[in-house]
Amino acid sequence: MKRTQILLLTALIGCGASAQTKREVPLYLDPQATVEQRVEDALRHMTTHEKVELLHAQSKFTSAGVPRLGIRQLNMDDGPHGVREELEWNAWSAARWTNDSCVAFPSLTCLAATWNRERAQDYGNAISEEFAYRGKDLLLGPGANIQRTPMNGRAFEYLGEDPRLAAEMVVPYIEGVQANGVGCCMKHFALNNQETDRFTVDVNVSERAMREIYLPAFEAAVKRAGVWSIMGSYNLWLGVHCSHNDSLLNGILKREWGFDGALVSDWDAAVDDWQSATGGLDLEMGTSRNGTLTGNRFTYADYHLARPFERMIREGRLPMSLLDEKARRVLRTIFRTAMNPQKTTGKMCSEDHYRTCREIGEEGIVLLRNERCAAKGRKREMPLLPLTAERLSALALGGGRPRLLIVGENATRSLTKGGGSSELKTRRDVSPLEGLKTVYEDLADIVYAQGYESGQAIYDKVDVVGLERQTKLRQEALEKAKDADLLIFIGGMNKNHRQDCENGDRETYDLSFGQNELIAELARIQPRLIVVTFGGNPYAMPWLEQTAALLHCWYLGSEAGTALANIVSGRMCPSGKLPVTFARRYEDYPYVQYGAAAYPGVDRQVYYKEDIFVGYRHFDTRGVRPLFPFGYGLSYTTFRYGEPSLKTLDDDRWEVCLDVTNTGQREGRETVQLYVGREAGEKSLVERPRKELKDFVKVNLQPGETQRVTLHLSADDLAFWDVESHGWKVERGAYRLYVASSSEDVRGSLVLKRN
């Protein structure tokens, strides 16, 4: 039986009719009708109470439909990296199902590091199939908040520091998800750039920075991807919580951008009856208190958009049109997802999902350093990576089988656990140690030492490991290093509280658990040291010059070990590029100079005093040299950029074209980046960054192959937000167009004159 027939039969039974009835099917149950026709017909059949019931939770992760009419409930679950394990109906504890394991896909920072729109589409398609198979209608993600600070404990869930990169990656992700009839609930709208005081902090930001930095990815999701729902954030803007902020939700999101979906509160983000009713919130989830009722006395019927809202409607304090508009938005979401006859049945833990996971991981790993090392039998020094069988053999100092020592807790630790709401229960995880053993166990004697210990992943507190234990682990690693021909250190961050985890920011820019000291000591013993780090944020590297190679892996998901081993061994050529700037010192980040008021805030007020100069816009414009710039990433091959040329399509559109050639000995991918800035000497009404990312293209090239690359530019890309007119403005005059391999590595430039 087709899904359409099943839906129709179920709905008829729900209406009290038998399967043999000849009664005309209500329009809202007709799968051939448009979504808008079904919504309006459903509203005509519903009571006031039934409309109100649509607007708030009925369990931790579901909201009610209309059982009397056969209108289904909405089933939601956390993403954005995989479908979360099933929880109990009315508790945060696991339901202990045995069939709810999933594929953990790479973190969204890893996806951003691919700079590949096609990978984002693949990601959305694969993850939505798993959500659909589990009976979920809304994926709570993706996240697209800007990484303003490297201390943000939740930055690993987001897409980097640049609004254009975030927008270009989030749109195909959403399209891939929603093509399968699963809705995205994009988060966290807006300005959720820190976890410290996230429930109460009031973000003070200029109108220009809001429009140029913090809103573009959300706007693209609405206007280009047609996202079906959006989640409001906990923090305040203009003194009002964002989950029911009239200026943000009704003003910008709905009226200005034309968003027609449901605005969903973050869990426990609604705090006021009147604002919840009037401030643009459509579906209230997770509320646990309202200031008067607590514990078992507080029920779902006591939510702000439950009895209190219904009472205001019935008493005439609020118009019925307001209730209808909220119900209309939730119904629209239901008919697009739970009652979408084209929704896929999905599948779980399929081999093509694991392949998608691995390929995204491989493409997101960033090679940051690859120095030349001496090896026996070679006249010239060679880069340490890729670590091929031949190169590994040449590193054996005493002849015979080389001895490979792998050090670090992250070589064996599950990085799909912890992190808060993005924690996943997986069917299989390939650890880095397992992946490396698969490649090298027949080529070398592999030894492992843990080196340090971080404790258990706990949501809201740190599990401290004693000094005696840490000292013992370090000494064991250092002793084993004395006999090793090659060292691979695998560490970085994890998803513990105060690392990369919801509900708490990092406490230091350094790597924790004594890793800096351990890496430095290992390098003194054996300079042939490859450092592999995981994590969603930049970090300090005082040991960098002592190491031979450095790979940053973000979080790679279920296929972490396989993806890493394929890059290390050279089976795959690294092509990841940084979606964030790595500063040399924490003090180099733009907001730090403004003190605690700029982060993490004072008296629950935080001020974005760096304005639009976030990430590379600051480093580039202010002349602050980063450790690794935005857009940076090495390869095992090399690329030559030809001279760029400018083609005018019309008064408002241009193309920048150039040839890119693979000049190395192996296949590789290169991301060509287009930045735009005012030409030197041109006056501007406002201070502008030296250059800003506007487009990028990733190309795959065989050795010696040349491809023609076309980058696109429009008049909108030249605009800034004018606070006087409250709109975008394009200045006349000359603009410099930069073709680059990173924000610092400019390969060519052109001048565009805008009359």
- Cβ proximity of 388 and 432 under 8 Å: no
For residues 606 and 467, what is the distance between their CA atoms, to the nearest angstrom?
36
Could you give phi then psi for residue 231, rounded to 5 degrees?
Answer: -100, 125
Q: Is 465 helix (H, G, I), strand (E, B) or coil?
A: coil
For residues 328 and 497, what is the distance between their CA atoms, to the nearest angstrom?
40
* Class of residue 24 by CB neighbours under 10 A (exposed 0-12, middle 13-18, buried 19+): exposed
Beta pairing class for 74-78 and 183-189: unpaired
Nearest one of 594, 131, 33 to 337, comparing CA atoms: 131
Backbone torsion region of residue 425, taken as left when φ is above 0, otherwise alpha when ψ lies between -120 and 50, otherwise beta: beta
Q: Is 19 helix (H, G, I), strand (E, B) or coil?
A: coil
Q: Which residue has the tokens 């404990």?
A: 153
Other CB atoms within 10 Å distance of the CB of residue 664:
17
Nearest one of 282, 332, 322, 320 to 303, comparing CA atoms: 282
CA distances from 188 to 89, 217, 463 (A): 24, 11, 28
Q: Is 746 helix (H, G, I), strand (E, B) or coil?
A: strand
- Cβ proximity of 78 and 329 under 8 Å: no
* DSSP collapsed to 3 states, 122-158: HHHHHHHHHHHHCCCCEEECCECCCCCCCCCCCHHHC
Other CB atoms within 10 Å distance of the CB of residue 442:
9
Nearest one of 21, 136, 10, 137 to 70, comparing CA atoms: 10
| Type and span of the H or E element at 405 | strand 403-407
∠ CA 614-618-624, rounded to 5°? 140
User: Which strand ranges, in their side-by-side order, compose the sheet holding 529-534?
Assistant: 366-370, 549-552, 529-534, 486-492, 403-407, 445-449
The token pair at 71 is 């209108």
- Cβ proximity of 139 and 127 under 8 Å: yes
Quote the DSSP letter at residue 242: G
Which positions are annotated as active-site residues? 266
Beta pairing class for 720-722 and 692-701: unpaired
